[in-house]
């Protein structure tokens, strides 16, 4: 079965060196590096390694390298030119050492920055459209008010920025995770981008979920077909991760997180708990949020402009007034306040959680928990409490070697070890 090429852009097969958008000398050096690491390699293997077609592209570059005495043919494994076995000459060894002084990159052939920008524009997150029915279906396994769901849908359709806030334990992160499933569709992500002679790695298996291999007769193999990316960071985020990072050893750049999130979602969870101040982090986003472009800095000091095309979500349980001023809050299009569940919503969550854990629901038991712990201790209902309390009951039941039921003895043991009244 062929993969679903539902992307707005399918990069066509490369049919000439000119089609790559790169200088032929770059492709020559890349091939020399692959021969260096591979020892003796066939033309077909080299074409596969750099993700370019052999005929009309790799073959012509290899012929040029052979004419310049950088490589030589050492036999073949068949009669076709794809089976010729190539090795470096002494002159080629010197040439590849010069190439390594620039960078050690020896991966798939990159695409040009111009082609990358075009691809992001064609695959923009703004093309994603969700309906009320689709949102209801995606969140059907969870308990949220219709008012909340009717805020989530338009926010996704905006393709811009969302600020989700409210007390902990009520599903803010879950909302972002479920929203990610609504993005749908596939996009093409380049393995790497070349700009000003520098290489930037973009495709990252940690954030890009490859869908399937594509037909090399139809599709440029320098692009991987992936689901729309979802990049999630928390308190570990630093400003350095939002700019280009060059490896001192390979002299190859790693794309920043927001570049890897292009055409998808970038979730900053636990906003306000990063090692950097919220103001510094927010200031980093002012231009991208307004202009949908970002500026990255090369080690040379040169700036390059790249697309900023993602659904940016800030999620926090801190007071928004302590995190940002009105000027920045204005730049964030959608603000969604996730409040604690009402008692009826809490009851529904409790019932569903009992069903999931094969524990018989008991209305009297829920009333006991509510009156003895929430009312008497002055605690606030939280959407996560049913899950946590029932898990505690199951742990205790296993320890006591009894069946997990909503008995007062088990409830008291669970609640007393779970609820802590601070202050």
Q: State pLDDT tens for residues 160-185.
A: 889 999 999 999 999 999 999 999 88
Looking at residue 136, its pLDDT comes to 96
Cβ–Cβ under 8 Å, residues 221 and 54: no
Supply φ then ψ for residue 186, to 5 degrees: -120, 155
Alpha carbons 335 and 318: distance in angstroms, whole number:
14
Domain stop point among 311, 337, 363: 337
Cβ–Cβ under 8 Å, residues 12 and 48: no
Question: Could you tell me the two tokens for 335?
Answer: 């603000």
Looking at residue 328, its pLDDT comes to 79
Closest CA to 380 of 172, 148, 168: 168
**DSSP notation for 147-164:** HHHHHHHHHHHHTSEEEE
pLDDT higher than threshold 90 for residue 63: yes
In this structure, is residue 303 part of a structural domain? yes
Cβ–Cβ under 8 Å, residues 389 and 346: no
In this structure, is residue 215 part of a structural domain? yes
Do 150 and 280 sit in the same domain of this protein? yes
Listed as own residue / partner, the contacts of 321-330 with beta carbons closer than 8 Å and 24 or more positions apart are 322/272, 323/271, 323/272, 323/278, 323/282, 324/278, 324/279, 324/282, 328/282, 328/286, 329/163
Do 245 and 330 sit in the same domain of this protein? yes
Cβ–Cβ under 8 Å, residues 294 and 307: yes
Do 77 and 147 sit in the same domain of this protein? no
Supply φ then ψ for residue 113, to 5 degrees: -60, -40
Instruction: Check residues 15 and 280 and name the one with the higher pLDDT.
Output: 15
In this structure, is residue 4 part of a structural domain? no
In this structure, is residue 44 part of a structural domain? yes
Looking at residue 185, its pLDDT comes to 87
Alpha carbons 93 and 104: distance in angstroms, whole number:
14
Residues 6+ apart with CB under 8 A from 48: none
pLDDT higher than threshold 70 for residue 422: no
pLDDT grade for 284, boundaries at 50, 70 and 90? confident
In this structure, is residue 9 part of a structural domain? no
Do 165 and 226 sit in the same domain of this protein? yes
Q: Report the pLDDT averaged over residues 246-257.
A: 96
Domain stop point among 337, 358, 391: 337
Q: Report the pLDDT averaged over residues 208-225.
A: 95
CATH label of the domain that carries residue 232: 3.40.50.300
Looking at residue 155, its pLDDT comes to 94
Domain count, the chain: 3
Cβ–Cβ under 8 Å, residues 383 and 377: no
Q: Report the pLDDT averaged over residues 394-412.
A: 96
Alpha carbons 229 and 250: distance in angstroms, whole number:
26
Angle between helices 146-158 and 172-181 (to 10 degrees): 50
What is the chain's mean pLDDT, rounded? 93
Do 312 and 211 sit in the same domain of this protein? yes
Domain stop point among 89, 108, 127: 108
Do 228 and 316 sit in the same domain of this protein? yes
Per-residue exposure over 53-70, b if at least 16 CB sit within 10 Å of its own CB, e if not: bbeebbbebbebbbeeeb
Do 362 and 294 sit in the same domain of this protein? no
pLDDT grade for 423, boundaries at 50, 70 and 90? very low
Do 42 and 89 sit in the same domain of this protein? yes
In this structure, is residue 61 part of a structural domain? yes
Question: Could you tell me the two tokens for 286?
Answer: 């002012």
Q: How far is CA 26 from CA 20, 30, 98, 115, 337, in A?
A: 11, 6, 12, 16, 52
Question: Could you tell me the two tokens for 258?
Answer: 């927001």
Alpha carbons 77 and 93: distance in angstroms, whole number:
24
Looking at residue 330, its pLDDT comes to 78
Cβ–Cβ under 8 Å, residues 67 and 27: no
Domain limits at 235? 116-337
pLDDT higher than threshold 50 for residue 1: no
CATH label of the domain that carries residue 37: 1.10.10.10
Q: CA quadruple 101, 106, 109, 114: dihedral positive or negative?
A: negative
Q: Report the pLDDT averaged over residues 196-217.
A: 94
Alpha carbons 257 and 230: distance in angstroms, whole number:
10
For residue 279, what is the enclosing H or E element? helix 278-291
Put simply, whether the predicted model's pTM sits higher than 0.85 gets the answer yes
pLDDT higher than threshold 90 for residue 17: yes
Do 94 and 152 sit in the same domain of this protein? no
For residue 76, what is the enclosing H or E element? strand 71-76
In this structure, is residue 14 part of a structural domain? no
Q: Report the pLDDT averaged over residues 124-135.
A: 95
In this structure, is residue 6 part of a structural domain? no
pLDDT higher than threshold 90 for residue 319: no
Return the DSSP state at 404: -
Looking at residue 184, its pLDDT comes to 86
| Helix, coil or strand: residue 103 | coil
Find the range with the poorest average confidence among 66-75, 107-116, 269-278.
269-278
Q: Burial, 112: exposed, middle or buried (Cβ in 10 Å; 0-12, 13-18, 19+)?
A: middle
Do 319 and 251 sit in the same domain of this protein? yes
Alpha carbons 67 and 75: distance in angstroms, whole number:
17
Closest CA to 150 of 387, 318, 336: 336
Q: Report the pLDDT averaged over residues 141-162.
A: 93
Looking at residue 421, its pLDDT comes to 65
Do 320 and 187 sit in the same domain of this protein? yes
Looking at residue 278, its pLDDT comes to 85
Looking at residue 249, its pLDDT comes to 94
Return the DSSP state at 322: G
Q: Report the pLDDT averaged over residues 193-219.
A: 95
Do 143 and 188 sit in the same domain of this protein? yes
């Amino acid at each position: 079965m062929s993969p679903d090429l539902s992307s707005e852009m399918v990069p066509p097969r490369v049919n000439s060196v000119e089609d790559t958008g790169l200088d032929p000398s770059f492709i020559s050096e890349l091939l020399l590096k692959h021969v260096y690491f591979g020892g003796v390699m066939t033309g077909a293997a080299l074409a596969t390694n750099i993700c370019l077609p052999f005929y009309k592209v790799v073959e012509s570059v290899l012929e040029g390298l052979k004419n310049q005495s950088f490589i030589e043919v050492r036999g073949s494994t068949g009669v076709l030119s794809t089976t010729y076995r190539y090795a470096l000459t002494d002159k080629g060894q010197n040439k590849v050492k010069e190439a390594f002084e620039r960078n050690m990159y020896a991966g798939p052939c990159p695409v040009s920055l111009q082609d990358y920008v075009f691809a992001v524009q064609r695959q923009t997150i703004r093309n994603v459209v969700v309906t009320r029915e689709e949102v209801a279906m995606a969140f059907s396994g969870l308990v949220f008010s219709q008012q909340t769901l009717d805020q989530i849908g338009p926010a996704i359709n905006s393709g811009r920025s969302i600020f989700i806030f409210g007390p902990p334990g009520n599903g803010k992160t879950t909302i972002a995770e479920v929203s990610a499933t609504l993005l749908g569709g596939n996009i093409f992500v380049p393995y790497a981008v070349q700009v000003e002679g520098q290489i930037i790695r973009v495709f990252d298996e940690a954030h890009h979920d490859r869908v399937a291999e594509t037909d090399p007769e139809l599709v440029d193999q320098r692009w991987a077909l992936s689901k729309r990316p979802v990049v999630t960071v928390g308190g570990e985020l630093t400003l350095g991760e939002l700019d280009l990072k060059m490896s001192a050893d390979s002299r190859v750049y790693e794309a920043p997180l927001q570049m890897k999130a292009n055409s998808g979602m970038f979730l900053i969870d636990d906003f306000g708990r990063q090692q950097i101040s919220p103001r510094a982090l927010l200031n980093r986003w002012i231009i991208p949020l307004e202009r949908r472009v970002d500026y990255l800095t090369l080690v040379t000091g040169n700036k390059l402009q790249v697309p900023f095309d993602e659904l940016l979500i800030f999620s926090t349980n801190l007071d928004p007034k302590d995190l940002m001023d009105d000027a920045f809050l204005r730049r964030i299009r959608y603000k969604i306040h996730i409040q604690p569940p009402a008692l009826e919503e809490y009851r529904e969550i409790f019932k569903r959680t009992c069903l999931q854990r094969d524990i018989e629901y008991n209305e009297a038991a829920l009333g006991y928990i509510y009156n003895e712990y929430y009312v008497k201790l002055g605690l606030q209902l939280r959407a996560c409490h049913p899950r946590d309390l029932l898990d505690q009951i199951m742990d205790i039941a296993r320890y006591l070697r009894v069946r997990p039921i909503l008995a007062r003895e088990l409830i008291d043991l669970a609640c007393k070890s779970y609820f802590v009244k601070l202050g």
